[in-house]
Each structure stands twice: as C-alpha cells, then as structure tokens.
Amino acid sequence: MRFFPRLLLSNLLVILLAVTGMFITADLLAPTFYRGHVQHMAEMMGMMGGSPMDTKQELEKGLHTTLVRALLVALPIGGTLALLTAWLISRNLGRSVQLLDEGSRALAQGNYARRLPEMGQDELSDLAHNFNVLAGALEQVEQGRVELIGNVAHELRAPLAALRGYADAMQDKVMTPEHAAQAMNREVGAMDRLVRDLSLVSRVEAGKVELHLKAVDPQGLLQMVRERFVTPFEEKGVQLRVTADALPTIKADEERTLQVLTNLLSNALRHTPPRGSVTVEAQSAGQFLHFSVVDSGAGIAAEHLPHIFERFYRVDPARSRSESGSGVGLTIAKGLIEAMGGEMWAVSQTGQGSVFLFTLPTEE
C-alpha cells in the first residue's frame, strides 16, 4: 500500500478510536456530573406529591438520552472536520514523501540537477534541505569528473598528434630516425609527466598521499632550491633572490616541501620576463613559518585568482603546454601543503607581479 492511503487510514483509525473513547467516557462519567442535580430535582418533585425514586430514574434516563442524541448530532460535524483535517495532513505528508522518492530516483539515474522545494520548519523541510545539499555535492563531483576527462583528453591529444606526425615524417623519410626518436621520446616524456601528475593529484585530493614528517631545516631547503634554479634563472636573465635569516626548524616532508618550492619557482620563472626578479623569503610567525615567492611578472587578473589552484585551470588558455605546464602543479602544491598542516594562497594584481605564500608548522 502506498504511503498516502496508509497514512490516511492510520489517521482515520485514530479518529475512530477517539470517537469511541469519547462515547464510552461520556456514558460512564456523565452521571457523576448530573447526579446531584437529579437528586435535588427528585426531592422537589417528591414534595409536590410524586415518587422521588421514579422521578429520579426518569430524569436520569432523559438526561442520558439527551446526551447520546447530542453526541450523535455532533458526530457528523466533528467527524467531517476530523476527516478533512486528516486528509489534508496525509496529503501534505504524502506529497513530501513522494517528492523525496522522485528526487532519490532522479539521483539514482544520474540527474544531479534535481532539487526539492524547502518549505516549513519541520523535519521534512530539513530532510529536503539535506537532500539538496547532497545533490549539489554530487553535481559538483560529476562536473569535476566530466571536466577531468575532457582535460585529460585535451592534454593527451597534443602529444599523440605530435607522435603521429613524427612517425609519418620518419616513414616518409622527411625526418631521420635519430631525430624522430629524440622528438618522440620528448613527447612520451611529457605524457609520462602528465600521468604521474594526475596520479599524484588524485592521491592528494583523496588524502592518501604518503608523507614522511620530520624536523627539516628551512635554510637548507632554500639553499637546495637556489642551487637547483640558479642556472635556469641566469640563462633567462632573471634575478633570483633567496632571503632566510635564523629560522626555526619545521615539521614537514622535506621532499614534498622541495617539490612545492620547485613548482612555485618554475611558475615564477616561466611568467617573469628577462631583467625581472624573483624573491624567495621565509619568516617565522608564531607556530608557523611563512614562505613567499614573489615575482615581477605580468600578474594575475582578479577574475582568475580564485581559480588558479583548480585542476587544469590556465589563466591564458592560448599558451602551449610547454609554456604553461601540465595544469595541475598548483593543485598538487596546495594539497601537499594542507596535508602537512599548512595553508597556501596567492596575492596578485595585473601588471604588478604575483605573490604565492604558504605556511608550515614549526617543530615546536
């Protein structure tokens, strides 16, 4: 049986029990209310020459009959009102349950855009609100999945097309096998980096990345980063400054922290023109150490800034893969920092460069 008729029958049963109980209670308790008045009237009739006992019985019988008739007359009116009320309540509750049923079926079929009306302040309204929150979360997950598939397909399309072109050129003897092999190996390396980045970003977002937290010297970290990038910066003509005074040790994964700094410096070098500068600085701030990477590049427009840590988001979609990277580096960096107990954010204005900042907890 459906919910609405079952609920309506339940309400009607309650009404029937209430009416039956009312009749029985009235029949049992009514004499206690009018017995005193009947006795008084019987005594008065006895003083007028009648039999008090017969008069009392007649009065009690008459009052009982009047009470029963009054109840029977009131029963259709009260029953109709009770039935109408039960039907309205059952219909409203049944409609709410029906909407929840239809909404859950829509979610099961993949229609994550389905929403339920939120009316009232009761538990059913709270349930509808929670349903809408769940549907919104599932819709975002589905959109992320579709975007991820599209982005991966887009990222793989270019190296695959290049590989096919090199193979055709080698087959047509336009390119020597040695030259084609080098170019093909370069494209295969790009696809391998993309696959490794995707594997890492999935583990970071799932919170399953393996970390080896220990006491790390931040000055040693910055020195390693400087040694790694001094040559590329000199070749492009960009000045690299690394500033680090006496700093407390941090509790972090040294390899992952170095990976984050490497990603930020690579981005800064990529977007800073020749004769520009990039500054890496670390400062102690209470229980955290603040790292910052400041460049003198073109900066990031305000409408792009909230999205730069999203997967595959590029400020300038027209840039080639070699110029803009795989598109998940900042997503990985932010996820790694948060997994180590820190935070990452960016500050930038168009034409005034960018500042990427992150914090890591000190060992103390």
Q: Is residue 121 part of a domain?
A: no
357's tokens: 């900042």
Q: How many domains does the chain have?
A: 3
Do residues 90 and 133 both lie within one domain? no
Do residues 223 and 200 both lie within one domain? no
Can you tell me the distance from the alpha carbon of 198 to that of 169, in angstroms, rounded to the nearest whole number? 31
Do residues 327 and 256 both lie within one domain? yes
196's tokens: 């490794």
Q: Is residue 117 part of a domain?
A: no
CATH of the domain at 133: 1.10.287.130
Q: Is residue 118 part of a domain?
A: no
How many Å is the maximal CA-CA distance in the chain?
141
Q: Is residue 120 part of a domain?
A: no
22's tokens: 């009312």
Helix (H, G, I), strand (E, B) or coil at 310: coil
Can you tell me the distance from the alpha carbon of 236 to that of 209, in angstroms, rounded to the nearest whole number? 34
pLDDT digit string (tens) for the chain, length 364 residues = 566 676 667 777 777 777 777 777 766 666 666 555 555 555 555 555 555 555 556 666 666 677 677 777 777 777 777 777 777 777 777 777 777 788 888 888 888 788 888 776 777 778 888 888 888 888 877 777 777 677 677 777 777 888 888 888 888 888 888 888 888 888 888 788 778 877 887 788 777 788 889 999 999 999 999 999 999 999 999 999 998 777 899 999 999 999 999 999 999 998 899 999 999 999 988 899 999 999 998 888 888 888 888 877 766 654 444 444 567 888 889 999 999 999 999 999 888 899 999 999 998 7
Q: Is residue 28 part of a domain?
A: yes
Can you tell me the distance from the alpha carbon of 250 to that of 261, in angstroms, rounded to the nearest whole number? 15
Note the pLDDT of residue 56: 57
- Which amino acid, residue 216? V
Q: Could you identify the residue written with the tokens 């008065």?
A: 44
Q: Which of 88, 111, 134 is where one domain is finished? A: 111
Do residues 143 and 267 both lie within one domain? no
Note the pLDDT of residue 322: 47
Helix (H, G, I), strand (E, B) or coil at 217: coil
Do residues 62 and 102 both lie within one domain? yes
Helix (H, G, I), strand (E, B) or coil at 328: coil
Q: Could you identify the residue written with the tokens 């239809």?
A: 102
Note the pLDDT of residue 94: 72
What residues contact residue 315 under an 8 Å CB cut-off, 6+ apart?
300, 301, 304, 308
Do residues 357 and 227 both lie within one domain? yes
Note the pLDDT of residue 345: 94
Do residues 182 and 78 both lie within one domain? no
Check the CA dihedral 331-332-333-335 and report its sign: positive
Do residues 267 and 179 both lie within one domain? no
Angle at 331 between CA 327 and CA 337, to 5 degrees: 145
Can you tell me the distance from the alpha carbon of 272 to that of 285, in angstroms, rounded to the nearest whole number? 28
Can you tell me the distance from the alpha carbon of 245 to that of 228, in angstroms, rounded to the nearest whole number? 20
Contacts made by residues 183-188, CB under 8 angstroms, sequence distance 24+: 187/159, 187/162, 187/163, 188/159, 188/163
Do residues 67 and 24 both lie within one domain? yes
Can you tell me the distance from the alpha carbon of 362 to that of 92, in angstroms, rounded to the nearest whole number? 58
- Which amino acid, residue 89? I
Do residues 9 and 106 both lie within one domain? yes
CATH of the domain at 245: 3.30.565.10
Q: Which of 148, 181, 205 is where one domain is finished? A: 205
Can you tell me the distance from the alpha carbon of 96 to that of 243, in angstroms, rounded to the nearest whole number? 63
- Residues 90-144 have pLDDT tens digits of 777 777 777 778 888 888 888 878 888 877 677 777 888 888 888 888 887 777 7
Q: Is residue 157 part of a domain?
A: yes
Can you tell me the distance from the alpha carbon of 270 to that of 315, in angstroms, rounded to the nearest whole number? 13
Note the pLDDT of residue 357: 95
Q: Is residue 355 part of a domain?
A: yes
Do residues 347 and 287 both lie within one domain? yes
Can you tell me the distance from the alpha carbon of 52 to that of 44, in angstroms, rounded to the nearest whole number? 8
Which residues form the domain of 236? 214-361
Q: Which of 205, 228, 245 is where one domain is finished? A: 205
% of the chain residues with pLDDT over 70: 82
End-to-end CA distance of the chain: 65
Do residues 305 and 253 both lie within one domain? yes
Q: Is residue 119 part of a domain?
A: no
Count of other CB atoms within 10 angstroms of residue 7: 19
